[in-house]
């Protein structure tokens, strides 16, 4: 992509009233645009990152046997009345309104729709287990929406639901989901702790995945000696319940949350299956959420410098940023184009800063703000010996390298 035609521009200032670091950097870098508090548009740079996060999640869901579906965001009232969540406690977060065919609510979670859907297709033990996921925008009537992408009123969620014949099967799948979640956060460049939290309808705890950072809203009691972590909401004592050692208090961003729901939602619609003996048995259920847009915000929160964002290779909107430096612009431009063509043809995603009329300092400041992992500066200084300057942003180290070596290295 030529930066001269890339839609969206970098900005010196974030909009007034935007207090969170993630939204400030993402807006200034031209990744997102603010529509209202908790409501954002994704520009090409931001959408590429969001797509990368969603694709990683999709791959890890498919790897644990889940199939992708897409349910509506517009929900009629009836299924929510069946579970008792139309007025309580759903109404606290659900946007509800009248309309033709209404009343309606905007989906803030999907147990109410997925359970009757799966019920239509499951008769006997042979039809179980079932695991379905979707990646979709959710809507929540959040009272405070000051944390940028960390707390949207509309936000991206991946929600997986699994259906089982017994607790043993649910437990085994739940363990696989934890492993998949660890892979997802590792691949996104986040160190997420597995944290016991409240809200397990059929187990003592639910499990949250928390990224430790001071900008997080949750408080975690963390035991370094035995890697056991709990959300403050379930903590009874400063001592670790597992090894007795004192624990540290950390702040964290909840990027994922998984629950054993048991029969909480299946019972509401009388969803049973017949076992080998021909008897009707309740279907057990688990649900597993991740917020891709919150993950994007969390990466921006924990991986930035004073100059701007720092994307891991797996999420970066483009892998390589090509810039020019020097007065002999024609020669430099030719070399930049040659590099751009070679890398692009090899399937590398490249952003080439071909914008005219900017100073070297302005080009560099924008590149620092956008934060692509690999940077190549084609400069007068080294051009005569066919070298370019290569910078790995993660290492913050710049070295002159032969042109062919840089191409060879980045092609891999």
- Residues near ligand ATP (CB under 6 A) are 109, 140, 142, 151-152, 155, 157, 254-257, 289-291, 293-294
CB neighbours of residue 324 within 10 Å:
23
By C-beta, is 256 or 379 nearer to ligand ATP? 256
Task: Report which of 236, 229, 235, 234 is spatially closest to residue 252, judged by C-alpha positions.
Answer: 229
By C-beta, is 257 or 266 nearer to Mg ion? 257
Residue 291 binds what, of Mg ion, ligand ATP, none (CB under 5 to 8 Å, by partner type)?
ligand ATP
19 secondary structure, DSSP code = -
Closest distance to Mg ion from the beta carbon of 390 (Å): 42
SS3 206: strand
By C-beta, is 215 or 293 nearer to ligand ATP? 293
Residue 115 binds what, of ligand ATP, Mg ion, none (CB under 5 to 8 Å, by partner type)?
none
208, 177 in Cβ contact below 8 A? Answer: no
- CA angle at residue 180 from 108 to 66, to 5 degrees? 65
Q: What is the C-alpha separation between 145 and 206, in angstroms, rounded?
A: 24
Query: Which tokens sit at 178?
Result: 């934890």
Closest distance to ligand ATP from the beta carbon of 153 (Å): 7
Closest distance to ligand ATP from the beta carbon of 405 (Å): 41
Does 109 engage in binding with Mg ion (CB under 5 A)?
A: no
38, 291 in Cβ contact below 8 A? Answer: no
Residue 10 binds what, of Mg ion, ligand ATP, none (CB under 5 to 8 Å, by partner type)?
none
CB neighbours of residue 408 within 10 Å:
13
By C-beta, is 252 or 371 nearer to Mg ion? 252
By C-beta, is 290 or 339 nearer to ligand ATP? 290
- CA angle at residue 160 from 154 to 162, to 5 degrees? 150
- Beta strands 104-106 and 193-197: pairing type? unpaired
By C-beta, is 109 or 257 nearer to Mg ion? 257
> Residue 128's beta-bridge partner residues?
none
> Residue 365's beta-bridge partner residues?
none
Closest distance to ligand ATP from the beta carbon of 404 (Å): 44
Q: Which residue is nearest to ligand ATP (CB)?
A: 291
- CA angle at residue 289 from 39 to 394, to 5 degrees? 75
Q: Binding residues for Mg ion, how many (CB under 5 A)?
A: 1
Closest distance to Mg ion from the beta carbon of 382 (Å): 52
Q: Which stretch binds Mg ion (CB under 5 A): 7-15, 81-89, 180-188, 255-263?
A: 255-263
By C-beta, is 22 or 293 nearer to ligand ATP? 293
Residue 147 binds what, of Mg ion, ligand ATP, none (CB under 5 to 8 Å, by partner type)?
none
Does 257 engage in binding with Mg ion (CB under 5 A)?
A: yes
Task: Report which of 290, 285, 289 is spatially closest to residue 162, judged by C-alpha positions.
Answer: 285
Residues found near Mg ion in the complex (CB under 5 A): 257
């Amino acid at each position: 992509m030529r930066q001269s035609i890339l839609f969206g521009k970098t900005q010196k200032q974030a909009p007034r009233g935007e207090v969170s670091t993630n939204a400030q950097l993402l807006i200034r870098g031209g990744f997102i645009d603010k529509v209202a508090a908790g409501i954002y548009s994704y520009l090409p740079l931001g959408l590429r990152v969001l797509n990368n996060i969603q694709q990683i999640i999709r791959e890890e869901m498919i790897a644990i046997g889940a199939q992708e579906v897409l349910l509506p965001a517009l929900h009629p009232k009836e299924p929510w009345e069946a579970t008792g969540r139309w007025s309580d406690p759903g109404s606290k977060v659900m946007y509800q309104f009248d309309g033709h065919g209404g009343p309606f609510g905007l989906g803030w979670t999907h147990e109410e729709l997925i359970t009757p859907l799966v019920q239509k297709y499951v008769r006997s033990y042979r039809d179980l287990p079932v695991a379905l996921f979707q990646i979709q925008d959710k809507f929540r009537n959040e009272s405070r929406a000051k944390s940028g992408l960390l707390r949207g009123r509309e936000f991206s969620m991946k929600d997986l639901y699994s259906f089982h014949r017994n607790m043993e099967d649910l437990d085994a799948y739940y363990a696989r989901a934890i492993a998949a979640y660890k892979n997802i956060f590792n691949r996104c460049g986040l160190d997420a702790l597995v944290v016991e939290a409240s809200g397990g309808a059929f187990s003592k705890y639910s499990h949250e995945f928390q990224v430790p950072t001071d900008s997080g809203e949750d408080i975690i009691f963390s035991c370094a000696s035995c890697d056991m972590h709990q959300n403050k909401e379930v903590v009874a004592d400063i001592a670790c319940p597992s090894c007795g050692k004192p624990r540290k208090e950390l702040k964290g961003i909840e990027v994922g949350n998984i629950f054993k729901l048991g029969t909480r939602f299946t019972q509401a619609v009388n969803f049973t299956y017949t076992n080998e003996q021909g008897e009707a048995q309740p279907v057990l259920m688990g649900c597993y959420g991740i917020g891709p847009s919150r993950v994007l915000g969390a990466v921006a929160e924990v991986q930035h410098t004073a100059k701007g964002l720092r994307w891991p290779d797996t999420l970066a909107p483009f892998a390589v940023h090509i810039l020019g430096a020097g007065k002999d612009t024609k020669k430099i431009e030719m070399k930049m184009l040659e590099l751009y063509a070679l890398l692009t043809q090899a399937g590398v995603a490249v952003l080439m800063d071909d914008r005219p009329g900017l100073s070297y300092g302005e080009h560099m400041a924008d590149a620092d703000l956008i934060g692509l992992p690999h940077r190549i500066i084609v400069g007068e200084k080294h051009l005569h010996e066919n070298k370019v300057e290569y910078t790995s942003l993660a290492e913050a180290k710049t070295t002159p390298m032969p042109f062919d070596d840089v191409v060879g290295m980045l092609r891999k």
